[in-house]
Amino acid sequence: MDDQALIWNTDTNLNVTSFTARLRELAGADGSRGRLHVSDLWHEDVPYSVPVLAHRWALEGECVSFEAPALGGTYRFDLEPLYAPDGSVAGVSGSATALGDAENRLDRRVYAAAERTAGTGIWYEDLRTGGVTISSGLAALLSLDPVTAQFNIRAYDHPEDRALVARTLADPDAGERYCCDHRICFGDSRVRAVRERVETAFDRRGLAIARIGTLVDISDLKEREAELADLALCDPLTRLANRALLIERLGAAVARTARYGTLCAVLFIDLDGFKAINDTLGHNAGDGFLKTIANDLQGHFRPTDTIARLGGDEFVVLVEDLYSEEAALSAAQKLLIGLKGTFDSCGHGITIGASIGVAVVPRCSNVPEELLAMADREMYAVKRSGGGGVKLVACAAVREPSSPDSGDTLQTA
């Protein structure tokens, strides 16, 4: 390690565990005071204790770079978390580089460009004078004049997120520090998602002297999170709901039937003869046909009903707001007729049929997984009988089954 460099490491309590001889000399840390805190290295001439607060951000896993006056000069600080073998943050590694006048001007331009590229900005509020300073990165993010005399971060809160921000600020701990993800509005009706982090700096008497805030543009991150959430709940081939989303909506539908005294039905659908399509025309044609069926199913039902693909050629439809079992059977029969015929897919005329099992809520069960299993069982009973039919789960509380393992069956001609 270069003893002329200003480099140090801390533990998670920000106690200094190692530092170079040059930093010891500049900070006047001769070891006579015993254990050193990072605040002992960077004295009160640093405005608002920025380095100390930045160390806390590094402990939360962030890499932080900034400029601040210290030890009689201006320094570029670079902080990053130190990780233990188990992946947890064990401390902070820091370095500081003194900036000369020409270097200072150049580095400020480089730092400003880095801020703009990263979508990051910093603001400082002096609680003693009321003055506010903003970085060039924040000015660029909010389309502001960097020499602005007035700045109120709350003025940029998105109207729909103001209640969220207000709850965060009302938290008892928010007086000293808080972190909140929300949206901001600025410029020509632009909206961006940001992560706002604010810390309060105190002097040695414990009096609050400043607040330091950062805004990081996380719009791309939020979009990616939304995409991943969509992938987690949608079938990637057809863009229909997947099993997880179906179970979630079925649970909500069960609750609504109890509240409003209505029924809902689970239609478990398996396409007859689909394997032959893959075998004769190939899997690309099969995938194209499944998309065609998905579009056709959406045309059969209301937007309030849920259509899901569980995999392969198995589809499930959750039909809500029914008032009788006959309505459930009628919906399944109409679908069966609609699926019996020739479909045009990828330039091929494909003839197909379907087998459908039906379970009615709440007469069969109020448990989503049980309802699916019941409808699935009845669908396979139709398959074993040659396919092309609808079978309703028979519930003893409603009627006696017509055979040991069957419910009502409708076969098409």
Domain that holds residue 337: 234-411
Is 229 contained in some domain? no
Residues 353, 330 share a domain: yes
Dihedral over Cα of 25, 30, 36, 42: its sign: negative
Per-residue pLDDT tens digits for 39-89 = 777 754 444 456 777 788 788 887 877 766 677 677 778 889 999 888 899
DSSP H helix total and E strand total for the chain: 12, 17
Residues 369, 279 share a domain: yes
384 membership: H or E segment, kind and range: helix 368-384
Say whether 161 sits in a helix, a strand or coil: helix
Residues 397, 328 share a domain: yes
Residues 166, 245 share a domain: no
Residues 127, 19 share a domain: yes
- Give Dmax over CA atoms of the chain in angstroms: 98
**Number of domains present in the structure of the chain:** 2
Point out the domain boundary residue: 197, 223, 249: 223
Residues 248, 163 share a domain: no
Average pLDDT, the chain: 79
CA angle, residues 230, 236, 238, in degrees to nearest 5:
110
**The residue to which tokens 């499930």 are assigned:** 316
Q: Does position 251 have pLDDT exceeding 90, yes or no?
A: yes
Percent of the chain residues topping a pLDDT of 70: 78
If you count them, how many residues does the chain have? 413
Is 1 contained in some domain? no
**The residue to which tokens 């810390």 are assigned:** 199
Per-residue pLDDT tens digits for 178-220 = 888 899 988 777 888 988 888 887 777 778 888 888 888 888 8
Residues 212, 291 share a domain: no
Residues 171, 303 share a domain: no
d(CA 298, CA 295): 5
114 membership: H or E segment, kind and range: helix 101-118
What band does 270 get if pLDDT is binned at 50, 70 and 90?
very high
Provide mean pLDDT across the span 155-184. 83
Point out the domain boundary residue: 182, 198, 223: 223
Residues 197, 57 share a domain: yes
- Reference 313, options 375, 235, 386; nearest CA is 235
Residues 257, 217 share a domain: no
Residue 407 identity: G
Residues 275, 192 share a domain: no
d(CA 186, CA 261): 48
Residue 288 backbone dihedrals phi, psi, to 5 degrees: -60, -35
Residues 105, 83 share a domain: yes
